[in-house]
Amino acid sequence: MAEFPLEISPMFEGERIRKNDMYVELAGPKSKGFELVRATDSDEIEDGKFTLIGPDISEMEEGSRYPFAMLYKIGGELVEPDLEAIVERRNHDFYNYMQGVMHLNQRYDIWVRLSKDAVNKGLNSFEQMAAAMMSLFKNELSFIEKIEAVYITDPEEIDKELENAMEIYKERDERTANLHEEDVDTFYGCTLCQSFAPSNVCVITPDRIALCGAINWFDGRAAAKVDPEGPQFPIEKGEVIDEVGGEYSGVNEAAKSLSGGEFDRIKLHSFFEYPHTSCGCFEVVGFYIPEVDGIGWVDRDFTGNAPNGLPFSTMAGQTGGGKQVVGFLGIGINYFRSPKFLQADGGWDRVVWMPSHLKEKVVDYIPEDVVNKIPTEQDVGDISELETYLKETEHPVIERWSEEEEEETEAEEEQSGQPESAPSQYMTQMPASMPSAPSWTPSASSGGVKVTLKNAKVSIDRIIVKNKE
């Protein structure tokens, strides 16, 4: 078996290969691919065997792009189907151990780049990479006794195998449908993404899949059992602090520890108040649209702009890094299927836009009374059209507009009865935990001009009020 020609070490995790340094791009947002691990009877595995279907690295031109799939068969006395997703997710981990190789995302969203420097130093075959990976899997995960790898770069073969892989992913995701947070005492955490997002706190519960979409509660439990020192580990749920928001004392303690003290509160089912951190491997980004007081969602497969004028890539850059970002939230697609989906903020009644293909994936889980009221890129193209569509379909979110208008009117009436020297009154136009949007009404002597700041973050060290002489 060919040897990998460069160094292999965790020190290379987080290495980024930019376009100018790239020799070839595999899968990614402009192509297709996937990674899949299957638990297999050991008698059916030829340990260390590698098969390539399609062109090898040496046959690829510099700057080119190819589809790419990785399939692994694993066997051993302790190997069981529950471990497939865990081993599959470690593919991301171990790929980034290889110098000159960048691996992002998971499942059908993988994105791999090989650097020019690596190829110049002798990386000319996928067999070299597969050999390194199989060795890492067996050395790092002792329950794997035998392993076999198949890599595919042929487009037609990938299309055929991808269909099968999608069915397997679907079956895994459906396993937690009848299990909920109130049924268990233990959640699970994952630190796989901390090489890219050091303060990320990934919490996996029966009602909330990992942000990458690759690890559910059963997967976390299986991983923690067979690899107690690994990146998946138990988190005691602790006391319920906010049942609707999904805040638990055990999760808060874990958040403080895992983030190095940067965060000490997380509400698993809230978009606005102490939201779950977002790493960068998330499948979908949620974004607040203050003009309609609703939440839109966009995934990696959508290549256009959302109604706010931004593409997925821009919002992903704003969202990731392991932060609690006001107005943005990364999630795994399967969270849309959770009965606790953003229940602290109205759930599906607060969703006002998503791409058509994403909506189609989860349409069976959208309540009947709102499913036809959530527009896609086929219905609206900007904020103005979105607002019109929501009004015409009587989307539940418009009820919030009436409530806000009433609050604004009451605030203005209170202000009108105060003397000119009274301090300005602040009225929140956005959810309470979002940055306050002040509404300031000058005195009558200023001409009656009203200034309303929406979606604004204002920082004031001090205010000095003096009588005009």
The CATH number of residue 41's host domain is 3.30.1650.10
Q: Is residue 81 part of a domain?
A: yes
pLDDT score of 416: 57
Same domain, 69 and 148: yes
34, 82, 202, 207, 281 from 216: Cα distances, Å: 18, 10, 11, 9, 15
Verify that 317 and 348 share a domain, yes or no: yes
Domain membership flag for residue 36: yes
pLDDT value, residue 247: 97
Scan for tokens 């000095």, then name that residue.
Answer: 464
* 125: pLDDT strictly greater than 90: yes
State residue 34 phi and psi, 5-degree precision: -170, 170
User: Cα separation of 350 and 397, whole Å?
Assistant: 6
In a domain, 302, yes or no: yes
Same domain, 116 and 70: yes
- Residue 350 DSSP code: G
Q: Which residues are annotated as a binding site?
A: 190, 193, 279, 281
- Rounded Cα distance, 292 and 297, in Å: 14
- Within a domain: residue 376? no
| Sheet-wide strand order for 232-236 | 202-204, 186-190, 232-236
Domain count within the chain? 3
**Model pTM above 0.85:** no
Q: Quick check: 69 and 155 in contact, CB under 8 A?
A: no
Q: 43 CB contacts (<8 Å, ≥6 apart)?
A: none
Helix axes 126-140, 84-95, angle to 10 degrees: 120
Give, as one character, the DSSP assignment of residue 2: P
* Average pLDDT over every residue of 131-146: 93
- Asked if residues 143 and 42 have their Cβ atoms less than 8 Å apart, the reply is no
Range of 71's domain?
10-175
Q: Is residue 389 part of a domain?
A: no
Residue 415 within any structural domain of the chain: yes
Residue 162 and residue 298 share a domain = no
Residue 447: predicted pLDDT: 45
Residues with Cβ within 8 Å of 166's Cβ and at least 6 positions away in sequence, in order, are: 108
Please indicate, yes or no, whether residues 264 and 318 belong to a single structural domain of this protein: yes
User: Does one domain contain both 205 and 116?
Assistant: no
Q: What is the pLDDT of residue 467?
A: 63
Q: Looking at residues 301-310, what average pLDDT do you find?
A: 92
- The tokens describing 33, both together, are 């691919």
Pair of tokens at residue 176: 């937690």
What distances in angstroms separate CA 69 from CA 74, 96, 152, 212, one per listed residue? 16, 16, 5, 18
| pLDDT value of position 15 | 82
Same domain, 346 and 423: no
Q: Kindly calculate the radius of gyration of the chain based on its CA atoms and give it in whole angstroms.
A: 25
Residue-wise pLDDT tens digits, 169-226: 988 888 877 899 999 999 999 988 887 788 888 999 999 999 988 889 998 998 888 8
Tell me, yes or no, whether 437 lies in a domain.
yes
Confidence at residue 415, expressed as pLDDT on a 0 to 100 scale: 58
86 shares its domain with 161 = yes
- pLDDT higher for 250 or 361? 250
**Same domain? 349 vs 260:** yes
Both 145 and 288 in one domain: the answer is: no
Q: Which residues are part of a known binding site for [Ni-Fe-S] cluster?
A: 190, 193, 279, 281
Is 150 found in the same domain as 198? no
Q: Is 467 among the domain residues?
A: no
Within this chain, do residues 262 and 157 fall inside the same structural domain, yes or no? Answer: no
Q: Which residues contact 24 (CB under 8 A, 6 or more apart)?
A: 57, 60, 61, 62, 63, 64, 65, 66, 113, 114, 119
Domain boundary among 321, 350, 365: 365
